[in-house]
Amino acid sequence: MSSKARIRQFALLCAGALALTACGGGATEKSAGAEEKARGFPVTVASCGEKTEVKAPPRRAVSLDQGSSEILLSLGLADRMVGTGTWTDPVLKNLAKDNAKVERLADRYPSLERVLAKEPDFVSASFLYTVGKGGVADRAKFTELGVPVYVSPTDCAGKDNDGGGDGKRVKTLTMDTVYGEVRDLAKVFDVEKRGEKLVTDLKGRVAKATGDIDASDATLLYWFANSDAPYMAGCCGAPGIITRELGAKNVFDDTREEWPQINWETVADRDPDVLVIGDLTRKSQSAESAAAKIKFLETNPATKNLTAVKKKRYVLLSGQAMNPTIRTVDGIEQVAAGLRKFGLAK
């Protein structure tokens, strides 16, 4: 039985629980073309401990996390995407026109049935959790149905995800791993020249933002979300990339946990020079937006006397800039600009 037949069979089994419109999305000429053998294919790429084999360049891709979606859009692949899911922020402005052409299956995790209704020939994700228990579906289910799944190396290379929470960095993450994801996806879609151009552009932006800056005397704290038990960045994920590129110091660089939950008394003891805070549009936890975070910081007894709060040294970043994605480069640029504005960069 072909992968398309398996997908259709599964969709029919769940049809009683879905509206007929949700189970649509029949095969197109482009999806049929994906069956044809392309030059240089099949292609195999490493995918978080597994091998992902793609027999032909995908024509009906579903990207299940915003970071992965924005890479595909940046590679000019909107016409080969049939769905996206799990967004924390508005799409990058330069990608908005192409993004509008791709159906958003859900703001958070779409159901497996909703994904399969699009008859995907490739699925990508930024996080193992997205294609694991509690996410959309275990990637083994997609494999069983003949759908190749690619998971970003940024969530597994040098990272231990077995201890709960957001995992721990065994090895320090660098932008090279992000660039590796771009190259992997470009290879899978047979647009390797576009991938190299995107990597070159990203590297150029990093070099421009960091070439003349020395922030070695500045201390930073990264707050992603939640005011009750706040998630602060440890040493070695995406915020670590930003900090190291600028020569600054993360006040919680003594933990390799990705996003440890740290109490406000400990934050007060560390008293950072600058607060880098996530400005999220999702509504899954307390204090998601930057405005809500700043209100909390300026009124809470444990935080209102922090140096950064009294001097209003806030740098606002999208959630995606604080995750290991192409937007981490935005984070480098924006934190660099903030440090210059605050007089903390030599």
pLDDT number for residue 6: 55
* pLDDT mean over 138-158: 95
Token pair in block for residue 220: 């930073």
pLDDT number for residue 1: 53
* pLDDT mean over 202-219: 96
Between residues 18 and 242, the one the model is more confident about: 242
Tell me 165's DSSP state: T
pLDDT number for residue 68: 98
Between residues 119 and 39, the one the model is more confident about: 119
Percentage of the residues of the chain whose pLDDT score is greater than 90: 83
pLDDT number for residue 39: 78
* pLDDT mean over 73-102: 97
pLDDT number for residue 286: 85
pLDDT number for residue 21: 37
Tell me: cis bond preceding 42? Omega within 30 of 0 counts. Answer: yes
Burial of 118 (0-12, 13-18, 19+ CB in 10 A): buried
* pLDDT tens digits for range 302-318: 999 999 999 999 999 99
Categorize the per-residue pLDDT at 5 as very low, low, confident or very high, splitting at 50, 70 and 90: low
Instruction: State yes or no: pLDDT of 3 exceeds 80.
Output: no
Rounded to an integer, what distance in angstroms lies between the CA atom of residue 196 and that of residue 182? 8
Question: Under a CB-based contact definition with an 8 Å cutoff, are residues 316 and 327 in contact?
Answer: no
Instruction: State yes or no: pLDDT of 186 exceeds 70.
Output: yes
pLDDT number for residue 165: 82
pLDDT number for residue 37: 57
* Domains of the chain listed by start with CATH number: 3-203 (3.40.50.1980), 213-341 (3.40.50.1980)
Rounded to an integer, what distance in angstroms lies between the CA atom of residue 275 and that of residue 212? 22
pLDDT number for residue 189: 98
Question: Under a CB-based contact definition with an 8 Å cutoff, are residues 286 and 228 in contact?
Answer: yes
Instruction: State yes or no: pLDDT of 128 exceeds 90.
Output: yes
Mean of all residue pLDDT scores within the chain? 90
* pLDDT tens digits for range 249-308: 999 999 999 999 999 999 999 999 999 999 998 887 888 999 999 999 999 999 999 999
pLDDT number for residue 25: 39
* pLDDT tens digits for range 168-182: 999 999 999 999 999
pLDDT number for residue 109: 94
Considering only CA atoms, give the Rg of the chain. 21
Helix 175-188 vs helix 66-74: crossing angle, to nearest 10: 60
pLDDT number for residue 346: 82
Rounded to an integer, what distance in angstroms lies between the CA atom of residue 215 and that of residue 245? 10
Exposure string of 251-287, with b = 16+ CB inside 10 Å and e = fewer, is bbbebbbbbbebebeebbeeebbbbbbbbbeeeeeeb
Percentage of the residues of the chain whose pLDDT score is greater than 70: 89
Lowest mean pLDDT among 20-24, 154-158, 194-198, 321-325: 20-24
pLDDT number for residue 16: 42
pLDDT number for residue 213: 94
Helix (H, G, I), strand (E, B) or coil at 70: helix
Helices (H), 257-289: 264-270
pTM (predicted TM-score): 0.88
Categorize the per-residue pLDDT at 30 as very low, low, confident or very high, splitting at 50, 70 and 90: very low
* pLDDT mean over 1-16: 52
